[in-house]
Amino acid sequence: MRSGSVTYSALIKQEAKKLGFLFCGISKAEFLEEEAPRLESWLKKDYHGQMKYMENHFDKRLDPRKLVEGAKSVISLALNYYTDERQESQDAPKISKYAYGSDYHDVIKDKLKQLMEVIRAYIGDVHGRAYVDSAPVLDKAWAQKAGFGWIGKNANLLNKQFGSFFFLAELIVDVELEYDIAPTKDHCGTCTRCIDACPTDAIVGPYVVDGSRCISYLTIELKDEIPSEFKGKMGGWVFGCDVCQDVCPWNRFSVLSREAAFKPSHELLNMTQSDWQDITEEVFAKLFKKSAVKRTKFAGLKRNISFLVS
């Protein structure tokens, strides 16, 4: 089985590269012992805010074998989305770079489906499930185990060669593979740029983010009105936030994404401040039909824009 698992693992990584993934690494499906106390502490401090779904399926978050029956391997993947294009107007409300193009959920799910088909074609009757930021899977923990990099002080996964502008996803399968044993050293050192730059002081300590204070949470996850304490602290963001990544020294090594689906919409990048303020539901539906921005819905986006200008 070992020689077969080595061959299969090499094949999977080769196919992942063909599909455009930046990284592909494989870990044994097992209980995430180190993550358990961290997750429990984070939840007890209510750092998840209104994201009550984070309290659900605690055991499943820590053990992929409870998600996929007979799971033996976690195939971790990363897809680069970095672009050096920017919104034209400096006064316009800002959205995170990851939402400039097509919704990453759709793009990555399609690639995972293709990869799973190849795996089955070569190995046979393989059972498994694909996950793209939509199930109780601790993506960053598995990516770190697979050797992609280390979890930085802003709680993002960092890589020395490529920074942090990439999406994470997994295939959890019931076949034994060759596992990557590549523990990555922490290279944050004494740097505190992300902590110092966070507009809402969401990074409450090195490696700990109070999600309920994060601009991404406030503009996407929060369904109520944005608390008045964040007036003047949103930095112009209306969907997501890139501040802690933009200031990270490792992101000077970011390379441009080759994924055509992530190519920025110039109609979006050219929007002026007044275009955003006057946006109609019809324009919203057309402009963000294939974008992750639709997740906040028209009412949510209008709330976020109003909060900046009121």
Domain boundaries, the chain: 2-83+103-173, 193-309
- Which residues are CB-neighbours of 162 under 8 A, at least 6 positions away? 22, 80, 253, 254, 255
Residue 54 has a pLDDT of 93
106-136 residue pLDDT tens: 999 999 999 999 999 999 999 999 999 878 9
d(CA 272, CA 156) in angstroms, rounded, equals 30
47-61 residue pLDDT tens: 999 999 999 999 999
Show the tokens assigned to 166: 């990439």
Residues acting as catalytic residues: 133
Show the tokens assigned to 62: 């820590």
Residue 1 has a pLDDT of 42
Helix (H) or strand (E) holding 16: helix 2-18
Which residue ranges in the chain fall short of pLDDT 50? 1
Q: Is the pTM of this model over 0.75?
A: yes
d(CA 267, CA 96) in angstroms, rounded, equals 16
Residue 134 has a pLDDT of 78
Distance from the first to the final alpha carbon of the chain: 64
